[in-house]
Amino acid sequence: MSFNWWDAFLLAIGFLIIFFAYGYWESGYFKRRGMKNVPFELPILGNMFQHILGREHFMGAIYRVYDAFPNERYVGFMQVNRPFIMIRDLEIIKKTTIKDFDNFTSHILNIDENFDPIIGRNLLFITGDKWKDMRATVSPTFTSSKLRNMLSLVDQTGRQIADFYLDKMNEPEHKKRGFIEVEMADTLSRYTNDVIASTVFGLVVNSLTERKNEFYNMGVKTFDLGGVQLLKLIVYFAFPILIKISGVQFLGKNLREFFRNLVLGTMKNREKNGIVRPDMIQLLMEAWKGSLKYEGSHNEETDAGFATAEESTIGKRTVKRQWSENDIVAQAVIFFVAGYETSKTLLCFVFHELTVNPDVQKKLQIEIDELISEKGDALEYTDLMKMKYMDMVVCEALRMWPPVPGTDRKCLRSYKLPPPNDSTNEGYTLQAGEGIWIPICAIHHDPKYYPDPKKFDPERFSDENKGNIDPLSFIPFGSGPRNCIGSRYALTITKTIIFRILSKFDLVMIEKFFYHHKIRTYSISGK
Ligand code: HEM
Ligand SMILES: *[C@@H]1O[C@H](CO)[C@@H](O)[C@H](O)[C@H]1NC(C)=O
Ligand SMILES: *[C@@H]1O[C@H](CO)[C@@H](O)[C@H](O)[C@H]1NC(C)=O
């Protein structure tokens, strides 16, 4: 059959009709249900159109929805082609994520085991009893008693970074100039990579000296969400059936085998040679055998800082369950996937703010110097966590630049929300499968909770002021039993490198370069 322009034309017309008919149906979604909503730009891409094209930061899209109806407690919007209800009201966030958690136990996106046998088994994506049991199995690995033992490993990487630049500083050329130019974002990403390699996988690397080491390359590949990976995710999100039919998988086979060999190989090696190291691999081995219990100390929940996310009773239970190899590998991988970008992003913003707010930097350096003159240079977990100004700075960075700008929950069964505003008594009834969205970044920037929200002001979190903060208005690690399991670990690794760099260097900005969330080029100079 020869190519026929007329057929092609009809096909194109047919496609457009379906596209816009689908869009028309979509646009009526909230109207049919009587909820205020933000009209979207294009069918299928919803309110995220500008963002997907790279013309708008994700937060921009979120603020537009959040700000559209200041008097509504919730409002509808489209994320790609899925309807979401953005919750603007702290009481309702509390109700849905904590009090009525049983009606909202999972996230909207569930990558299943067929799309990826490793990613699909991790804590973030599993559901139901399996999630409950896995949460309880691995939560003991993140308690402060475990992190206390781990700190020496974390600090080893921290010192490695500081020493690298101290050595550089001593080279004649830099000595004369008195400073080194450093792309901080790169340095902080290498630190985060190395500290996770060491404390999660038991692998000691130095990505500053071995710039092309295998672990770093694999990490970069895992997080390369450009091009094909992103497309796979969007298609999976919008039309999961297409992925199921095509049999496409998310991580490539290479990456999967790399992580499997790394985790299972290290475990075997440790068993065989009787090696014990205070890291996550060790703890996961114990958790796998079922010999790990949740041991929270008295003030467990706050001791890594004000931002620490509290573990619920679900995560504190003792469970007996057989886990497969893939189940365990999946958790190590999610600690990397969920911990790397987020912690690195937090660090980039902390260092950025310290650089543009020299008075804050100075004040923090004084606190660090005081600790060193009192206790010496060896860093202890308890001392690190007792540093008040350090915690205020980190909290304010988490408020102003939350690395995870929002989170969601899937409604499991029909659920009646409170009324959307004061002029009606009728609340919206969520249907099973509908999603609610919690706009962390928009709440953190709402002048109702934080006057002058664009100002970086650690004093908001001083002992005097933090009592006035509604806990639900500060949720960088989410809320309820499904909150971030790694908050204590994240605070530990970030505070350690802040401590190490600021104890030796001043940060000075030499060139400002903003593109979306990338921050580049600072100089650090000897103190
Ligand atoms: C500054 C760094 C981090 C931030 C801001 C952050 C933030 C978050 C947020 C907002 C959630 C969703 C919570 C919710 O829906 O209520 C989450 C979930 C999660 N995070 Fe983090 N996170 C960070 C670091 C880490 C680290 C270092 C790890 C692991 C080592 C980690 C592991 C996880 C896991 C496994 C979940 C899913 C928990 C579950 O569904 O049971 N995160 N994180
Ligand atoms: C309150 O919510 C109802 C139901 O969504 C809506 O019809 C009404 O316009 C809202 N009232 C105000 C004052 O916005
Ligand atoms: C949550 O689910 C329970 C159990 O099915 C149900 O009885 C309850 O009505 C739901 N909550 C609301 C507020 O709809």
Per-residue pLDDT reduced to its tens digit, 79-91: 777 788 999 999 9
pLDDT at 96 over 60: yes
pLDDT recorded at residue 302: 54
Nearest CA owner, ligand 3 atom 9? 415
Ligand at shortest distance from the CA of 307? 1
Tokens matching residue 233:
């995710």
Ligand at shortest distance from the CA of 350? 1
Tell me the domain boundaries of the chain: 29-99+405-475, 115-400+486-527
Q: How far apart are CA 204 and CA 212, in angstroms?
A: 14
Per-residue pLDDT reduced to its tens digit, 457-496: 999 999 999 999 999 999 999 999 999 999 999 999 999 9
pLDDT at 512 over 70: no
Nearest CA owner, ligand 3 atom 10? 415
Per-residue pLDDT reduced to its tens digit, 227-282: 666 777 777 777 777 777 777 777 777 788 888 999 999 999 999 999 999 999 99
Q: How many angstroms separate the alpha carbon of residue 419 from the centre of ligand 2? A: 9
Q: How far apart are CA 245 and CA 159, in angstroms?
A: 50
> How sure is the predictor about 518, in pLDDT bands with cuts at 50, 70 and 90?
very low
CA distances from 148 to 154, 278, 303 (A): 10, 9, 11
Interhelix angle 325-356/184-199, rounded to 10 degrees, is: 150
Query: Do the beta carbons of residue 207 and residue 190 sit within 8 Å?
Result: yes
Atom of ligand 2 nearest to the CA of 69: 14
pLDDT at 424 over 50: yes
3-state secondary structure of 421: coil
214 or 471, which is more confident: 471
Q: Which of 242, 276, 310 is nearest to 484 (CA)?
A: 310
Q: How many angstroms separate the alpha carbon of residue 338 from the centre of ligand 1? A: 6
Query: Do the beta carbons of residue 417 and residue 92 sit within 8 Å?
Result: yes
Q: How many angstroms separate the alpha carbon of residue 35 from the centre of ligand 2? A: 8
Q: Does the CB atom of residue 269 touch ligand 2 within 6 A?
A: no
Tokens matching residue 195:
């500290």
Tokens matching residue 27:
């646009």
pLDDT recorded at residue 136: 93
Query: What is the percent of the chain with per-residue pLDDT over 70, rounded to a whole number?
Result: 91
Nearest CA owner, ligand 1 atom 30? 335
Long-range contacts of 170-176 (CB under 8 A, 24+ apart): none
Atom of ligand 1 nearest to the CA of 493: 27
> How sure is the predictor about 43, in pLDDT bands with cuts at 50, 70 and 90?
low
Tokens matching residue 277:
């190291």
Q: Does the CB atom of residue 283 touch ligand 1 within 6 A?
A: no
Angle in degrees, CA 90, 32, 94, rounded to 5 = 15
Ligand at shortest distance from the CA of 412? 3
Q: How many angstroms separate the alpha carbon of residue 102 from the centre of ligand 3? A: 8
Q: Does the CB atom of residue 469 touch ligand 2 within 6 A?
A: no
Q: Does the CB atom of residue 335 touch ligand 1 within 6 A?
A: yes
CA distances from 383 to 54, 80, 307, 492 (A): 43, 46, 17, 11
> To test the ligand 3 pocket, which listed residue (102, 413, 416, 428) has its Cβ within 8 A of the most ligand atoms?
413
- 3-state SS of 475-488 is CCCCCCCCCCCCHH
Interhelix angle 280-289/253-273, rounded to 10 degrees, is: 80
Query: Do the beta carbons of residue 119 and residue 251 sit within 8 Å?
Result: yes
Which fold is adopted by the domain 115-400+486-527? Cytochrome p450 (1.10.630)
Q: Which of 113, 129, 134, 97 is nearest to 410 (CA)?
A: 97
Nearest CA owner, ligand 3 atom 3? 103
Tokens matching residue 324:
């497969």
Query: Do the beta carbons of residue 308 and residue 96 sit within 8 Å?
Result: no
Q: How many CA atoms lie within 13 A of 296 on its CB side?
A: 16
> To test the ligand 1 pocket, which listed residue (110, 440, 477) has its Cβ within 8 A of the most ligand atoms?
477
297 burial type by CB count under 10 A (0-12 exposed, 13-18 middle, 19+ buried): exposed
257 or 510, which is more confident: 257
271 burial type by CB count under 10 A (0-12 exposed, 13-18 middle, 19+ buried): exposed
Q: Does the CB atom of residue 331 touch ligand 1 within 6 A?
A: no
φ, ψ (nearest 5 deg) of residue 253: -60, -40
> To test the ligand 2 pocket, which listed residue (72, 423, 428) has its Cβ within 8 A of the most ligand atoms?
423
Name the average pLDDT for the chain. 87
In this prediction, residues 499-519 reach a mean pLDDT of 69
Q: How far apart are CA 477 and CA 89, in angstroms?
A: 18
Q: How many angstroms separate the alpha carbon of residue 483 from the centre of ligand 1? A: 7
Where is 63: in which H helix or E strand?
helix 58-68
Q: How far apart are CA 520 and CA 423, in angstroms?
A: 49
Atom of ligand 3 nearest to the CA of 417: 13
Q: Does the CB atom of residue 423 touch ligand 2 within 6 A?
A: yes
Q: How many angstroms separate the alpha carbon of residue 427 from the centre of ligand 1? A: 31
Q: Does the CB atom of residue 103 touch ligand 3 within 6 A?
A: yes
Per-residue pLDDT reduced to its tens digit, 110-134: 777 777 888 889 999 899 999 999 9
Q: How many angstroms separate the alpha carbon of residue 377 from the centre of ligand 2? A: 60
Q: Does the CB atom of residue 405 touch ligand 1 within 6 A?
A: no
Per-residue pLDDT reduced to its tens digit, 382-401: 999 999 999 999 999 999 99
Ligand at shortest distance from the CA of 95? 3
Q: How many angstroms separate the alpha carbon of residue 196 from the centre of ligand 1? A: 14
Nearest CA owner, ligand 2 atom 13? 423
pLDDT recorded at residue 46: 63
Please report the beta strands in 129-222, taking only residues with DSSP state E, as ranges in sequence order.
179-182
Nearest CA owner, ligand 3 atom 12? 415
Nearest CA owner, ligand 2 atom 7? 34
The secondary structure of residue 376, as a DSSP letter, is -
Say how many C-beta atoms besides its own lie within 10 A of residue 390's C-beta.
24
Q: Does the CB atom of residue 35 touch ligand 2 within 6 A?
A: yes
Q: How far apart are CA 89 and CA 411, in angstroms?
A: 17
Q: How many angstroms separate the alpha carbon of residue 176 from the centre of ligand 1? A: 44
Q: How many angstroms separate the alpha carbon of residue 430 from the centre of ligand 3? A: 11
Q: How many angstroms separate the alpha carbon of residue 424 from the centre of ligand 2? A: 7
Atom of ligand 2 nearest to the CA of 419: 2
Q: How far apart are CA 358 and CA 348, in angstroms?
A: 16
Q: How far apart are CA 100 and CA 92, in angstroms?
A: 10
Tokens matching residue 89:
């009201």
pLDDT at 290 over 60: yes
